[in-house]
Amino acid sequence: MDLAFTKEEQAFREEVRSFFRDNVPPDTRRKLVEGRHLSKDEMVTWWRILNKKGWGTSHWPTQYGGTGWTSVQHYIFNEELQSYPAPQPLAFGVSMVGPVIYTFGNEEQKKKYLPRIANVDDWWCQGFSEPGSGSDLASLKTKAERKGDKWIINGQKTWTTLAQHADMIFCLCRTDNNAKKQMGISFIVFPMKSKGVTVRPIQTIDGGVEVNEVFFDDVEVPYENLIGEENKGWDYAKFLLGNERTGIARVGVSKERLRRIRDLASKVESGGKPIIQDAAFREKLAACEIELKALELTQLRVVADEGKHGKGKPNPASSVLKIKGSEIQQTTTELLMEVIGPFAAPYDVHGDDGSNEAMDWTAQIAPSYFNNRKVSIYGGSNEIQRNIIAKAVLGL
Amino acid sequence: MDFDLTEEQRLLKDSIDGLLTDSYDFESRKKYMKEKGGWSKAVWGKLAEQGLLGLPFAEADGGFGGGGVETMIVMEALGKALVLEPYLATVVIGGGFLRHAGTDAQKAAHVPGIVDGSKTLAFAQLEKNSRYDLFDVATTAKKKGDGWVIDGEKFVVLNGENADTLIVTARTRGNRRDTTGIGVFLVPANAKGVTKKSYPTQDGLHAADITLTGVEVGSDAAIGNPDDALALIERVVDEARIALCAEAVGLMDESLKTTVEYIKTRKQFGVAIGSFQSLQHRASDMFVAAEQARSMSMFATMAGDFEDARERSNAIAAAKVQIGKSLKFVGQQSIQLHGGIGMTMEAKIGHYFKRLTMIENTFGDTDYHQRRVADAGGLV
């Protein structure tokens, strides 16, 4: 047992860190620190810088443009990225649909889609959840009917993150009504500008518009847009969701936020002195930092295990990472609320699309708190994660 | 970065797990409790035979040169089996003082007896008003000739009833809460002026309140600098905290396992109660708590070797906080999920809960260590 990183790994960390220092646009970084949203342009600009460096699709197999890094290198890269902070690669493309295509897609699909995913020539969004299918995803109803060399798609998706920016969607559609609910689903991709696709924004409690409803009304999609085999979509969806294991803990994100809390708490006064000097506050902050340290170690254990024994099947430990990671993220936003106190109140009616900087940055703290309630709901709610642990680990 | 055990460490784990599986089921434990002193000399002998009592000592001193990871492996196993024998007091703490600061003569006098199982030690540190502050020492050691005369009262000295030798913290100069002027002294348990009031503890161990009245010791009694041994005390107590973290992980593992087995078999309303989602989620939360504790136990073990004393102490304090929180949750919920049977002395789960609970209040509780981390400027 040894906690130390090797000399090579430390050098790698330096390389990553200095690359971020030299290449992340300062405005992009500042907005992330202040909890502001970024514009589409700002995100795409950064991702293309990353892709040019060859790090945009770091975890892909090398023949598709991956880096061939070890588990530990991926961990270091993610941690540095999150804690710099710089925008993370667009998960829907790079982490979700990309791996499904290079694992289950045909050669033509790989050639057509992968380079465009890597360079974010196409912005992808995810068509999984439906109004009646949240945690019970397999009950989804959006229908794809085969007509000659086409699919005709009808139905509705919801919670579609950043669909307003998207060029492409990957969609779970029901293609067999008679099979068991998991067995009649197919994985189909198509352009968002197809006729019959309508996007309706959903405003969330933070005032932002990150998610959308997406309606399909007789959308015609070429048959060849099916990925993998017909009616095997559920397997691909499970593969996709189990693919991302350690990133979900978002340790780097919470680390960065805790540093910010410390910084702000030494400036904001309470009782005539900086709030960091308040023993009760300081202990709450320490408690959160300790939880995060434990999570970081748990994550390193999973990373080390992957490095030794390969990725294999989804690891139930990822449920621990999801539960604790989301709880800690939420605690950090609570602590920020506590620091800012009464100045949390002013509300920016224009929302924040990255362009309006008229409002003081303190206006982002309450929205960030409201917005972060989602992290224990999405990606398999924390209750679903507990079901997974009970079943897969404890055998209940 | 590596969390795996080496081949030798795996063998060590197998050997102690095997020994305890053979000789330490819950029924045997009840018998050991009734033996004189409250633990089994036979089991202690077996631990000695397997070299476990000499584990952390240097080979030159008659030991096996084990490090922090080896102690972690042993303590986890001892926790899992709810072992009563005074490994912490004798090998980890007593041995720790000798290893870190003992003279060759002191080591020659004490280490062989520890290694072969013929002698046990106890750490007489806690005082009426010291609570968790290691520097808060009212007991005095006054110079007399080449030696010292020790006066004071020590409380809840684990293994104090049975130990052959006491390791006593006492002040050679200054005031009660000064951080300098504190010494560590080896005192034979049968020295003139040592009186003991012995009792069992809540978790089935044995302790004693010890009064030292005009106890005379020689010039060779002091371990380390008699005027400035706080850093030594902190180092050894940090190692005791690390060991307690590992013991707690073993206890939590067994508590969770026992509880999950129980809710799989206990039937109500015609089904196993483990089929109810509220209980499944509780058990999942226990698993999460136990895993977080395991991570921090490993962290503490590795922090034991940190060069920087402040960094080391801060990391170990953080681990003790996580372990404290996790053990409270796992312990309490183990009882809750067992229901009424968990309230009985007859079921083993309550005994795990009691040992876990006592660990929280040993060498600093959760609040104490959380404050230490907060005052040290946090952990990020």
pLDDT band with cut points at 50, 70 and 90 for residue A307: confident
Nearest CA distance, B136 vs chain A (angstrom): 22
Residues of B in contact with A70 (CB under 8 A): none
Q: What percent of chain A has pLDDT over 70?
A: 94
Say yes or no: A3 contacts chain B, CB-CB below 8 A. Answer: yes
pLDDT in 10s for each residue of chain B, 380 residues: 788 899 999 999 999 999 999 999 999 999 999 999 899 999 999 999 999 999 999 999 999 999 999 999 999 999 999 999 999 999 999 999 999 999 999 999 999 999 999 999 999 999 999 999 999 999 999 999 999 999 999 999 999 999 999 999 999 999 999 999 999 999 999 999 999 999 999 999 999 999 999 999 999 999 999 999 999 999 999 999 999 999 999 999 999 999 999 999 999 999 999 999 999 999 999 999 999 999 999 999 999 999 899 999 999 999 999 999 999 999 999 999 999 999 999 999 999 999 999 999 999 999 999 999 999 999 87
pLDDT band with cut points at 50, 70 and 90 for residue A302: confident
Q: For testing the chain A interface, which of B252, B265, B273, B291 should be mutated: the one with the most A CBs within 10 Å?
A: B291
Task: Measure Cα distances from B26 to A117, B29, B111, B307, B308 in Å.
Answer: 60, 5, 31, 41, 42
pLDDT band with cut points at 50, 70 and 90 for residue A358: low
Whether the CB-CB separation of B218 and B166 falls below 8 Å is answered with no
- Judged against a pLDDT cut of 60, whether residue A60 lies above it is answered with yes
pLDDT computed for residue A305 by the predictor: 82
pLDDT band with cut points at 50, 70 and 90 for residue A346: confident
| Of A366, A368, A370, A387, nearest in space to A322 by CA | A387
Residues of B in contact with A259 (CB under 8 A): 380
Which residue does chain A place closest to B296, by CA atoms?
A294
Beta carbons within 8 Å of A376's beta carbon, 6+ residues apart: A323, A326, A327, A330, A382
Say yes or no: A8 contacts chain B, CB-CB below 8 A. Answer: no
Please state the rounded mean pLDDT for residues A29-35. 88
- b vs e for A255-270, b when ≥16 Cβ sit within 10 Å of the residue's Cβ? bbbbebbbebbeebee
Residues of B in contact with A279 (CB under 8 A): 371, 374
| Of B60, B47, B62, B44, nearest in space to B12 by CA | B47
Nearest CA distance, A296 vs chain B (angstrom): 9
Query: Residue B1 and residue A2: Cβ atoms within 8 Å?
Result: yes
Q: How far apart are CA A105 and CA A116, in angstroms?
A: 15
Which residues in chain A (292-321) have CB-CB distances under 8 A to chain B? 292-295, 297-298, 300-301, 303-305, 308, 317, 319-320
- The structure tokens listed for B92 are 């980890």
pLDDT computed for residue A314 by the predictor: 58
Q: Which SS3 state, helix, strand or coil, does residue B171 take?
A: strand
Predicted ipTM > 0.85 = yes
Residues of A in contact with B283 (CB under 8 A): 390, 394, 396
Please state the rounded mean pLDDT for residues A10-19. 97
H or E element that contains A172: strand A168-174
Beta-carbon contacts below 8 Å between A and B: 136
Q: How far apart are CA B53 and CA B46, in angstroms?
A: 10
Q: How many CA atoms lie within 13 A of A381 on its CB side?
A: 12
Catalytic residue among A34, A244, A291, A327: A244
Task: Measure Cα distances from B258 to A4, B266, B273, B339 in Å.
Answer: 35, 12, 14, 13
Which residues in chain B (293-352) have CB-CB distances under 8 A to chain A? 293, 295-296, 298-299, 301-302, 318, 321-322
Q: How far apart are CA B229 and CA B352, in angstroms?
A: 35
Whether the CB-CB separation of A241 and A91 falls below 8 Å is answered with no
Q: Is A244 a catalytic residue?
A: yes
Nearest to B288 among A5, A293, A320 (CB): A320
Which residue type sits at A129? S
Q: Strand B182-188 and strand B165-171: pairing?
A: antiparallel
Say yes or no: B190 contacts chain A, CB-CB below 8 A. Answer: no
- Judged against a pLDDT cut of 60, whether residue A72 lies above it is answered with yes
pLDDT computed for residue A380 by the predictor: 86
pLDDT band with cut points at 50, 70 and 90 for residue A348: confident
Residues of B in contact with A319 (CB under 8 A): 284
Q: Strand B147-158 and strand B165-171: pairing?
A: unpaired
Please state the rounded mean pLDDT for residues A114-130. 97
Nearest to B3 among A1, A292, A317 (CB): A1
Nearest CA distance, A345 vs chain B (angstrom): 29
Nearest CA distance, B130 vs chain A (angstrom): 22
Query: Residue A290 and residue B299: Cβ atoms within 8 Å?
Result: no
pLDDT band with cut points at 50, 70 and 90 for residue A353: low
Report how far Cα B243 is from the mean position of its chain's Cα atoms: 6
pLDDT computed for residue B345 by the predictor: 96
pLDDT band with cut points at 50, 70 and 90 for residue A364: confident
Nearest CA distance, A253 vs chain B (angstrom): 12
Query: Residue B264 and residue A1: Cβ atoms within 8 Å?
Result: no
- Judged against a pLDDT cut of 70, whether residue A269 lies above it is answered with yes
Q: What angle do CA B290, B296, B302 make, to 5 degrees?
A: 140
pLDDT computed for residue A355 by the predictor: 52
Please state the rounded mean pLDDT for residues A36-58. 94
Say yes or no: A83 contacts chain B, CB-CB below 8 A. Answer: no
Q: Backbone phi, then psi, for A169, in 5-degree steps? A: -130, 140
pLDDT computed for residue B121 by the predictor: 98
A225-239 pLDDT per residue, tens: 999 999 999 999 988
- Judged against a pLDDT cut of 90, whether residue A363 lies above it is answered with no
Which residue does chain A place closest to B366, by CA atoms?
A287
Across the strands, what pairs with B157?
B208
Residues of B in contact with A3 (CB under 8 A): 1, 299, 302
pLDDT band with cut points at 50, 70 and 90 for residue A359: low
Q: How many CB atoms lie within 10 A of CB B249?
A: 26
Which residue type sits at B192? K
Which residue does chain B place closest to A8, by CA atoms?
B1
| Backbone torsion region of residue B181, taken as left when φ is above 0, otherwise alpha when ψ lies between -120 and 50, otherwise beta | left
Query: Residue B4 and residue A1: Cβ atoms within 8 Å?
Result: yes
Task: Measure Cα distances from B19 to B16, B37, B146 in Å.
Answer: 5, 22, 46
Nearest CA distance, A324 vs chain B (angstrom): 8
